[in-house]
Amino acid sequence: LRVISGLKKMRAFSEAERAEGKTIALVPTMGALHRGHLELVKAARELAHIVILTIFVNPTQFSAEEDLDEYPRDIEADCDYANSAGVDVVFTPSAKDMYPNGFQTEVNLTELSKKLCGKYRPGHFAGVATVVLKLFNITGPHSAVFGKKDFQQLLLLRRMAMDLNVGIDIVGVPTVRESDGLALSSRNTYLSDIERRAAAALPRALNEARRLYESGERSPSVIISAVEGALRTEPLADIEYVKVVDGETLEDLDVIDRGGKNTLLQAVISIGSARLIDHVLL
């Protein structure tokens, strides 16, 4: 495993590999690696000769009140994990190099970034899109792999790649879950034992939505009420939102059956200091 922190070194490495005809797959992360990231690396390994995993806790996607300082960081453990997962290079740029004095450019998706989580986390998706485009430019990959768990992020990055003619394949990898259904996330480490047990309410509520849909229910408001009701049975869970939207535009829907188009039901709750996000496609 090679660990590279300098931007120029990273670019030189990728250029040399590309010059030899090697393909590169990128796995952008904020560290605190877990089994979900392992699946991203596995997918990347299938796509290219070289796998670069980036670890950068990107300050511009956190708002002032969010958990930037508390976000879990353990570079050594992450590098060990990346090494055993078969990563070739870990890229760990510094915030100073990524955002030097005078930095002022932002990639903003005018519609998608306002929807769902965008309403509750202003500036978040501009931070994500900007840093991901920077990571693309520095590491020069042929493909890049992201978790499907963050549905809106993946949709938005696909759109950005299309809109800006980025020429990199954006690949989505299925969510990895614990045995009680909780989606793996670095933020799960914030949960105490009691909170961790309470967090299973989220996948349970989404299963309830799926069950209703499969039994013929097609009204978003009925399904949303059922999900909210199921979440309210867990006293530690605070609901941020439960929404049923078009799976491409993220616009609210009045009715679910629309000739095979994807419908997204997304729910966000917080338990203690952890913000938990999950979805089901109907």
The yes or no reply on residue 30 touching ligand PAF (CB under 6 A) is yes
Q: Determine which residue in the list 17, 28, 116, 280 makes contact with ligand PAF, applying CB under 6 A.
A: 28
Sheet holding 274-281, edge to edge: 237-246, 263-271, 274-281
The yes or no reply on residue 128 touching ligand PAF (CB under 6 A) is yes
Least distance (Å) from ligand PAF to the CB of residue 89?
16
Q: Determine which residue in the list 10, 112, 132, 202 makes contact with ligand PAF, applying CB under 6 A.
A: 132
98 or 227, CB closer to ligand PAF? 98
The yes or no reply on residue 58 touching ligand PAF (CB under 6 A) is yes
The yes or no reply on residue 185 touching ligand PAF (CB under 6 A) is no
Which of the residues 37, 49, 124, 279 is marked catalytic?
37
Q: Are 265 and 225 in contact (CB under 8 A)?
A: no
- x/- map, 151-180, ligand PAF, by CB under 6 A: --x---------------------------
Judged by CB under 6 A, the number of residues near ligand PAF is 10
Residues 6+ apart with CB under 8 A from 1: 79, 82, 83, 87, 88, 89, 90
16 or 95, CB closer to ligand PAF? 95
Residue 51's SS3 state is strand
Is 124 among the residues known to form the active site? no
Q: Are 25 and 164 in contact (CB under 8 A)?
A: no
Q: Within positions 240 to 259, which residues make up the interface with ligand PAF, using CB under 6 A? A: none
In the chain, what's the furthest Cα-to-Cα distance?
58
- The label of the residue with tokens 């679910």 reads 256
Q: Within positions 208 to 237, which residues make up the interface with ligand PAF, using CB under 6 A? A: none
Cα distance between residue 63 and residue 178, in whole Å = 29
Cα distance between residue 214 and residue 218, in whole Å = 9
**Stretch binding ligand PAF (CB under 6 A), from 26-34, 92-100, 106-114, 246-254:** 26-34
Question: Contacts for 214-219 with beta carbons within 8 Å, 24 or more apart?
Answer: 218/255, 218/256, 218/257, 219/255, 219/256
Q: What is the binding site for ligand PAF (CB under 6 A)?
A: 28-30, 58, 61, 128, 131-132, 150, 153
Q: Would you please indicate which residues are annotated as catalytic (active-site) residues?
A: 37
